[in-house]
Amino acid sequence: MIPSLLLVLIGMLAGFSGSIVGLGGGFIVVPALAFLHGDLAPAHITATSMAVLLFNSISSTMAYTRQKRIDFTAGLSFAAASIPGSIIGALAAERMTGKGFFVGFGCFLITIALFLVFKPKKPLNLGLPVTVRRSFFDAGGTKFEYEYNLWLGVAISFFVGFLASLLGIGGGSLLVPTMTLLLLFPPHIATATSMFTIFLTAIVSTGTYWMRGDIEWWLVLFLAPGAFLGGQLGARVAAKLPAKLILRILSVMLIVVALRLITK
């Protein structure tokens, strides 16, 4: 009874923390399963985490859709680029054995986290032309206005899909910071759109793992309900948080992901 309840609580924590900043909850589910069920093969742990992430992203996408904070056009474009990137990353992962790469990338994520906390007042200007301008109101009447270069977002998404699959981390840990720092998305819109993008890519990834028989469905049975509920709660809490606080929470989450990579 206790182990089953513990799995539900782990799923809820992963869904809540992942949804609130658009990361997904793999950075919590993977180490938790590795600790509780060390007899499982790493591939099965990763596959099970991806299946749980699918349920979390479904829940978060539903909640953020009701809030009208998802940029569906951007999400579809980013997902179209990240899916092939994730396939290439999965193939490359079979040859990735050196620890130096994981340590280096973990340090890179910590640098991004610090940059988010001490974000410069003036936005970064890459000199690229604006191709998309957005202006809309969410369900609460808050107006959001921003503009970005779509092709830069597509290129970043491919890179995000590649690294997420290669390193076994949630794509949101890279997508949300780049959307806020380089594409200048408002943090609330970046979080919501990231979860929608994760939902689309998780369908493909989970389907692939399912066909390979890597998913431990008896674990998903307990983790998924908690992740679904946590996704609803996380989206509701995120809607009430100031943008700066979301960025600070995101920074903490990125450091957690980075430490996991460094100790991988």
Quick: pLDDT tens for 222-252: 999 999 998 898 888 887 878 678 777 877 8
Q: From residue 75, how far is each of 14, 106, 230 by CA, in Å? A: 22, 26, 22
On the question of pLDDT at 70 being above 90, the answer is yes
Which pLDDT score is estimated for 222? Answer: 93
Give me the helices (H) in 133-181, please.
Answer: 150-167, 172-181
* CB burial string 128-163: b at 16+ within 10 A, e below: eeeebeeeeebeeeeebebebbbebbbebbbbbbbb
Which pLDDT score is estimated for 34? Answer: 74
User: Who has greater pLDDT, 253 or 14?
Assistant: 14
Quick: pLDDT tens for 85-127: 877 876 665 565 556 656 766 777 787 777 667 665 555 666 7
Give, to the nearest 10 degrees, the angle between helix 172-181 and helix 2-21. 20
Q: What is the mean pLDDT of residues 76-87?
A: 88
Q: How confident is the model at residue 1 (pLDDT cuts 50, 70, 90)?
A: very low
Q: Which of 20-24, 191-195, 251-255 has the lowest mean pLDDT?
A: 20-24
Highest mean pLDDT among 23-27, 108-112, 114-118, 210-214: 210-214
Q: What is the mean pLDDT of residues 127-154?
A: 90
pTM above 0.75, yes or no: yes
Highest mean pLDDT among 4-8, 156-160, 223-227, 248-252: 223-227
Which pLDDT score is estimated for 144? Answer: 94
Which pLDDT score is estimated for 181? Answer: 81
Which pLDDT score is estimated for 193? Answer: 93
